[in-house]
Structure 1
C-alpha cells in the first residue's frame, strides 16, 4: 500500500511492471481508478493537497484482482467501474464513505478487503510467473527463461502479455531500469550501475533511461 499527497506541478510515474488500484479524494465522491503497466513515463497532476491511496500489485499479480489481461491496461488509467461489476464498485464506495475521520489508513484497508474478495473468486496466478520474473531479473535470456518454465518463446510471449502487459523483452528492460535506479539513488557510480544492472556499458544505460523514463539519469535523480 502506498499513499501520496499531490504537490504543485506534475509527478513523473515511471514504468515498474506493476498495476495499481487507486483511490483519491478528488471530486465530490472521490475517485477509484486502475493504473496499468507502463512502457513510458506517465505525468500525473492533481490539485495540490489531493490525497491518494493505492495498492500496487507486483508484476503478474494484477490481472487476478482486476479481472482483465494486463495488456488491455497498458499505458492506461481507467475507472474501476469500467472493469468491475457495478455492485462491487458501489460496495467499495460505500465502505470508503464510512471512513469519515479514518483517513488514508482506513481507505487502504478498504482497498485491501476488496482485492482479497476478488482473489477468493479468481483463478490462482500462473505458477510460472514468479520464475519468469526471477529469471529475467537474474540476467537470463528470454530463450533461457522459456526453457526453464517449459514454454516455447511464443507461448512465453503470449502469457507475458496477459500477465505483465508486455512481452518478456520489454519486461526485462523495465525491471532492469528499476534496478539501475535503485543502485543510482544509493550513490553507486553510473559506470558501476551499468555493470551491475546488466547494461552493455554506461552509454547503453543512458539510452535506456532516457527511452523509458524520458529524462537523463542525472536529471531524474535530481
Structure 2
C-alpha cells in the first residue's frame, strides 16, 4: 500500500509504503520523476537519487517505508552534495553526513509516532537559515513549462554550457533529460485517468502515440499498457 500527503516544508511530499504480506510479491517499479528522496526503511536512513530509468524495489512481506520527496533541485540543498553524484543510486545517509549525526537521527525517526514528520524535521533543520537558490527554482519552473533550453539559458543569464552544468548540479542531469522526465510524468497522469493515448501524446508534445509509447518503454522499462495494468493490480 502506498500513500502520500503534502509536507509542511515547501517543495516536499511525505509518503509511506508497506509491502504486501504475500511471499514472492512483485517488486515495486519506481518511476523517474527528477526528485530526490530521504527514506527510512528497516531502521536505516537512505537517500534515493534522481533516476533516469525506472528502478525495481524488491518486495519483502510487511516491510514498511517512510519517505520525504524533494522537488527537483531541492534535494542537493538538503544533503549538501551535487545531484549528479546521486543519479540512479540508493546510498546510506551516513555516506553523505557524519556517521554519529546519522545514528542519532535514525534513532529519532525509528522512535517517532509519525516518521514522515520526523524526516521533515531533519530536512527543515538542514535548510534552516538558508534561502533556496532562486535560479534553480526559476530553471525548474521554466523547464516544467517546456521552455526551450536556449530561452531558459537566456532568462537565467547563462550560456547553454553553463545551464547544463547548473542543471547537473541541481537536478542530476541536463535540461533536456529533465524536460523529458517531466513530460513523461505529466503524460502518465493523463493516461491514468483514462485520457485516450493519442490525445495524451498530442497534448504533451509527443509526435504521435507511437512516440509516447516508445518513451514510456524507455523510461519505465515496460509498455504503457503493461505499466498501467501493474499499477491497477
Tell me the TM-score normalized by structure 1.
0.91
2:159 to 144, 152, 162: 152
Q: SS at 1:108's partner residue?
A: helix
Instruction: Please tell me whether the aligned partners of residues 6 and 45 of structure 1 are also in contact (alpha carbons under 8 angstroms).
Output: no
2:201 to 194, 200, 203: 194
Instruction: Please tell me whether the aligned partners of residues 40 and 109 of structure 2 are also in contact (alpha carbons under 8 angstroms).
Output: no
Which residue of structure 1 aligns with residue 137 of structure 2? 130
1:36 to 45, 49, 55: 49
Instruction: Please tell me whether the aligned partners of residues 139 and 198 of structure 1 are also in contact (alpha carbons under 8 angstroms).
Output: no
Q: 1:97 deviation in Å? A: 4.1
Which residue of structure 2 aligns with residue 2 of structure 1? 15
| CA deviation map 1:54-113 (0-9, x unaligned) | 0000000000111110000000000011011123212212213433xx2xxx21121111
Structure 2: 5+ residue runs without aligned partners? Answer: 1-13
Which residue of structure 2 aligns with residue 179 of structure 1? 186
| CA deviation map 1:25-74 (0-9, x unaligned) | x2xxx121000000011000131110000000000000011111000000
Q: Cα RMSD (Å) of the superposition?
A: 1.3
| CA deviation map 1:103-129 (0-9, x unaligned) | xxx2112111111111116x5332122
Structure 1: 5+ residue runs without aligned partners? Answer: none
